[in-house]
Amino acid sequence: MSLIRDQGIKKICLFGGTICPRSETLLAGSGSIFIMSKNITQLAAPVDVKDAFGRPLHDLRISVIDRCNYRCPYCMPAEIYGESYKFLSRKHWLTAGEIKRIASLFIQLGVAKVRITGGEPLLRKDIVEIVSSLSDLPGLDLALTSNGSLLASHAKDLKKAGLKRITISLDSLDESVFSEMSGRKGEVSRVLQGIEAAQSVGLTPIKINVVIQKGKNDHTVLDLIDQFRGSDTIVRFIEYMDVGTLNGWRLDEVVSSASLVEQISARWPLKPVEPNYLGEVANRYIFEDGKGEVGFISSVSEPFCGDCHRARISADGTIYTCLFAKDGISIREQLRAGASDSDLIGFLQGIWRNRKDRYSEQRRENNEIRKTENSRVEMYRMGG
């Protein structure tokens, strides 16, 4: 190899069936290497991997913490997550460096979008370091989801660290409705200050996530639209989902996106527009008067498993291939035991290739599914 380098050769192409695992060591440090093979298991460049239904891996959601300063009843009901609840201990959290390494492995398998989430990600003291190290990864679309309560003081640093976009959750502008939906922890004014701060540093366009629960906040939908219509902020309504097993979900508490579209259209006519890309979770609508856009995430009434290309990883390094997974597979031990990149890539490829998840479609096909499945992982743990 040094002979080749001495001859001034900078690019080497390898053709063949299966690449010898040793070739990676052999070629290390030899310049630009392109491996061309029909049956690659060890990689030097990004490659698409498909799951059992032919779905690629495109997005990664990274939960950086399982704790939260809210107790939204649909996510972390206060009666269960009280003072004495034992969350992950800090030594089990992936470090900023480990998160970066895992993200870079996923990128080699086709991931182009990473969303940092939780729990509440801004509760992590090193959140700016995490964002900064991920933003070093070339070509990555980096976003973060937050409840916005601590955003006013973080927005500038997050932007400076390389964050591109932010989604902020705000279920109502009505103080008493919002208080109830955040488990008596949230204040509307603080979230609005966070949104303003994000706007002023250019973390735009901002998306606002609104979970709608029948009888709780569905009567405040138009106020939310009114607040953000005419700005470049996009409000997105999410159907209340049966994630986890602790929120006491009932189908009759779900307000379908179709009925919301009808309700909003009666005041401000809407028309549907094409998705920005295949697999976009929200159905997009624009106001006919040109005053912006609104989105609907209809995971209950119109499941979108067919295009689902998202993997999730929890704060302790467990990988999940579906929001409704009963269990996941840990990568942390291998990482800490010194596994090589090629070993870890093979491991991740294996997980994705075996993926057969399509829970929301199954739920629609068979409403009884919920009764038989009582061990699903909670959303705040695996990352929403």
Shortest reach from residue 181's CB to ligand SF4, in Å: 8
Show the binding pattern over residues 156-195: x = contacts ligand SF4 (CB under 6 A), - = does not: -------------x--------------------------
Count of positions on this chain that bind ligand SF4 (CB under 6 A): 22
Residue showing tokens 């949104």: 195
List beta partners, residue 61.
115, 312
Q: How many CB atoms lie within 10 A of CB 230?
A: 12
From 44-52, 115-123, 189-197, 315-323, give the range in contact with ligand SAM by CB under 6 A. 115-123
For residue 41 the two structure tokens come to: 């298991």
In the complex, the smallest distance separating the C-beta of residue 123 from ligand SAM, rounded to whole angstroms, is 9
| Identified binder of ligand SAM from the candidate list 51, 59, 66, 120, rule CB under 6 A | 120
**Chain mean position to CA 79:** 26
In the shown chain, the binding pattern of residues 337 to 366 toward ligand SAM, with x for contact by CB under 6 A and - for none, equals ------------------------------
117 near ligand SAM (CB under 6 A): yes
Size of site (CB under 6 A) for ligand SAM = 20
CA dist list (Å): 7 to 13, 329, 378 = 16, 46, 57
Instruction: Give the residue carrying structure tokens 């939310």.
Output: 224
Per CB under 6 A, 145 contacts ligand SAM: yes
With tokens 């009963």, the residue in question is 326
Cβ-contact 159, 130 below 8 angstroms: no
Residue 374, class by beta-carbon neighbours within 10 Å (0-12 exposed, 13-18 middle, 19+ buried)? exposed
Q: Are strands 113-117 and 141-146 parallel, antiparallel or unpaired?
A: parallel
Check: CB of residue 142 under 8 Å from CB of residue 131: yes
73 binding ligand SF4? (CB under 6 A): no
Does position 142 interact with ligand SAM (CB under 6 A)? The reply is no
Judged by phi (left if over 0) then psi (alpha if -120 to 50, else beta), residue 236 lies in: beta
Token pair 């709780």: residue: 216
**Residue 121 Cβ, how far from ligand SAM at the closest point, in Å?**
7
Report the chain's terminal Cα–Cα distance, integer Å.
47
Rounded to whole angstroms, how far apart are CA atoms 147 and 166?
10
Q: Which of 59, 74, 131, 155 is the binder for ligand SAM (CB under 6 A)?
A: 74
Residue pair 226/187 in contact by the 8 Å Cβ criterion: no
- Per the CB < 8 A criterion, the answer to whether 55 and 110 are in contact is no
In this chain, which of 59, 70, 244, 264 binds ligand SF4, going by CB under 6 A?
Answer: 70
Asked whether position 237 contacts ligand SAM by CB under 6 A, the answer is: no
Partner that binds at residue 247, options ligand SAM, ligand SF4, none, CB closer than 5 to 8 Å by kind: ligand SAM
Nearer to ligand SAM, 19 or 328 (CB): 328
**Site stretch for ligand SF4 (CB under 6 A), options 9-17, 63-71, 200-208, 242-250:** 63-71
Cα separation, 162 vs 139, whole angstroms: 12
The residues in 164-193 that bind ligand SAM, with binding defined as CB under 6 A, are 169
Tell me how far apart the alpha carbons of residues 234 and 225 are, in angstroms, rounded to a whole number. Answer: 9
Q: Which does residue 178 touch among ligand SF4, ligand SAM, none (CB within 5 to 8 A, set by kind)?
A: none
Name which of ligand SF4, ligand SAM, none residue 172 binds, using a CB cut-off of 5 to 8 Å depending on partner kind. Answer: none
| 243 makes contact with ligand SAM (CB under 6 A) | yes
* Residue ranges in 307-336 that form contacts with ligand SF4 under rule CB under 6 A: 308, 322-324
Q: What is the spatial distance between Cα 378 and Cα 361, in angstroms, rounded to a whole number? A: 19
- Does 147 interact with ligand SF4 (rule: CB under 6 A)? yes
Q: Which two tokens stand for residue 329?
A: 């597979």
Interface residues toward ligand SAM, by CB under 6 A: 68, 74-75, 117-118, 120, 145-147, 169, 209, 211, 238, 240-241, 243, 247, 379-380, 384
Q: Which residues bind ligand SF4 (CB under 6 A)?
A: 68, 70-72, 75-76, 118-120, 147, 169, 304-305, 308, 322-324, 357-360, 380
